[in-house]
């Protein structure tokens, strides 16, 4: 029997991913690729909604792909590709935009937040239709599940609505996907400001652990992480956000239960605990970083892997697109 399909992606919006991306997304993708037929994209077309220069975008796209692989996404098992390599994405996005309500798209909270932040002059139509392109990504592959962070849930709901609308108007063309929302406990916060989510686009990078940071730099950032004056290593998100965040990272990377870690550090200071965590971080990310840098050392080979995977993606995507064109009444080209 064939496996259910999974789709997810990330924008190539930075030179390095941060450990929130690793713990909150990549570790799950890596596990899920065993039981699902998985498609993972580097969504470079989406990244065009933010200003960047062409050489940077190209570099970030390769770097993001290399980090997926280094983190354990296997391009021989899962389809790992660059979104713009598969033309069907932009084509289906156009079709879907014609069945998306203007009001419906206007309700997307990410658009409202981002456009308020950028200002009217810097807000593009592409930013507005971002969720429609995301729907195309998902629907092209007859996706069953979409693992994403909470902030993307509304976009997956829109995707479901569009799939159902198309299917009922023109006939069954799409699988209606289910969002799989990451657990709150997998959310990582900024080491310097534990009230804010760790993010690639944070203003200051002092509290961000980058996957590609030198291990000594990561260790130093852990040692300098904000804690509190209570002195006990205990999980209490409300009153001890800094220490709780470090515990979440520790537990996620070691696979150990929180109480066992609290016990191990009972009666010892934060210094000891941070030292322990710094060792865990260096041990986990040292090999990931080394592998990513090795892949980036041979861009021709990396490009070849991405091209082969794009070909696999093309096959599935083209079949869906052809069916959609047919159903919606576009004249077939002989």
Binders of ligand LTN among 33-62, rule CB under 6 A?
A: 43, 46
CB neighbours of 126 closer than 8 A, spacing ≥ 6?
48, 49
17 binds ligand LTN, rule: CB under 6 A:
no
Tell me how far apart the alpha carbons of residues 172 and 96 are, in angstroms, rounded to a whole number.
Answer: 14
Q: Could you say which of ligand ATP, ligand LTN, none residue 21 binds, taking C-beta under 5 to 8 angstroms by partner kind?
A: ligand ATP
Could you tell me how many residues make up the chain? 334
Contacts 24+ apart (CB under 8 A), 56-60: 57/12, 59/15, 60/12, 60/13, 60/14, 60/15
Residue 147 CB, shortest distance to ligand LTN, in Å, is 8
Active site residue 200: yes
CB-nearer residue toward ligand LTN: 126 or 259: 126
Nearest to 285 by CA among 249, 259, 256, 261: 249
138 binds ligand LTN, rule: CB under 6 A:
yes
And the tokens for 274?
Answer: 């941070």
186 binds ligand ATP, rule: CB under 6 A:
yes
# chain residues binding ligand LTN, by CB under 6 A? 13
Active site residue 60: no
> CA angle, corner 238, sides to 232 and 244, nearest 5?
45
CB-nearer residue toward ligand LTN: 148 or 247: 148
Instruction: Candidates 4, 72, 149, 215: give the one binding ligand ATP (CB under 6 A).
Output: 149
Q: Which of 200, 221, 240, 274 is labelled catalytic?
A: 200
Tell me how far apart the alpha carbons of residues 8 and 79 are, in angstroms, rounded to a whole number.
Answer: 11
And the tokens for 136?
Answer: 């195309």
Determine phi and psi for 215, rounding to 5 degrees: -55, -35
Instruction: Candidates 188, 252, 261, 306: give the one binding ligand ATP (CB under 6 A).
Output: 188
200 binds ligand ATP, rule: CB under 6 A:
yes
Binders of ligand ATP among 13-52, rule CB under 6 A?
A: 13, 18, 20-21, 23-25
Tell me how far apart the alpha carbons of residues 188 and 194 are, in angstroms, rounded to a whole number.
Answer: 9
| Helix orientation angle between 153-170 and 125-140, rounded to the nearest 10 degrees | 70
Instruction: Candidates 137, 190, 213, 284: give the one binding ligand LTN (CB under 6 A).
Output: 137
And the tokens for 329?
Answer: 């009444």
20 binds ligand LTN, rule: CB under 6 A:
no
List interacting residues with ligand LTN (CB under 6 A): 7-11, 43, 46, 134, 137-138, 146, 148, 152
List interacting residues with ligand ATP (CB under 6 A): 10-11, 13, 18, 20-21, 23-25, 148-149, 182, 186-188, 197-201
Which of the residues are catalytic?
A: 114, 197, 200
């Amino acid at each position: 029997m064939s496996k259910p399909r999974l789709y997810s992606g990330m924008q190539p919006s930075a030179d390095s991913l941060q450990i929130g991306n690793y713990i909150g997304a990549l570790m799950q993708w890596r596990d899920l690729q065993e039981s699902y037929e998985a498609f993972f994209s580097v969504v470079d077309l989406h990244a065009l909604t933010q200003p960047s220069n062409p050489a940077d975008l190209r570099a970030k796209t390769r770097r993001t792909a290399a980090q997926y692989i280094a983190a354990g996404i296997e391009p021989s098992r899962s389809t790992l590709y660059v979104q713009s390599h598969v033309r069907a994405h932009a084509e289906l996005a156009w079709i879907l935009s014609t069945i998306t309500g203007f009001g419906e798209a206007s309700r997307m909270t990410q658009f409202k937040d981002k456009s308020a932040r950028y200002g009217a002059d810097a807000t593009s139509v592409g930013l507005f239709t971002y969720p429609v392109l995301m729907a195309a990504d998902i629907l092209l592959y007859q996706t069953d599940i979409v693992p994403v962070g909470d902030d993307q849930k509304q976009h997956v709901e829109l995707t479901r609505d569009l799939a159902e609308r198309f299917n009922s108007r023109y006939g069954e063309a799409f699988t209606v996907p289910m969002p799989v929302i990451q657990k709150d406990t997998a959310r990582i916060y900024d080491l310097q400001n534990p009230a804010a989510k760790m993010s690639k686009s944070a203003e200051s990078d002092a509290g961000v652990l980058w996957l590609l940071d030198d291990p000594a730099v990561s260790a130093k950032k852990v040692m300098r992480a904000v804690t509190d004056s209570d002195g006990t290593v205990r999980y209490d998100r409300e009153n001890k956000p800094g220490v709780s965040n470090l515990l979440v990272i520790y537990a996620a990377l070691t696979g150990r239960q929180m109480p066992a870690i609290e016990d191990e550090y009972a009666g010892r200071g934060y210094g000891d605990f941070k030292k322990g965590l710094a060792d865990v971080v260096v041990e986990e990310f040292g090999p990931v970083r080394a592998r990513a840098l090795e892949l980036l050392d041979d861009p021709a080979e990396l490009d070849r892997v991405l091209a082969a995977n794009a070909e696999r993606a093309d096959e599935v995507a083209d079949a869906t697109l052809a069916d959609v064109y047919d159903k919606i009444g576009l004249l077939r080209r002989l």
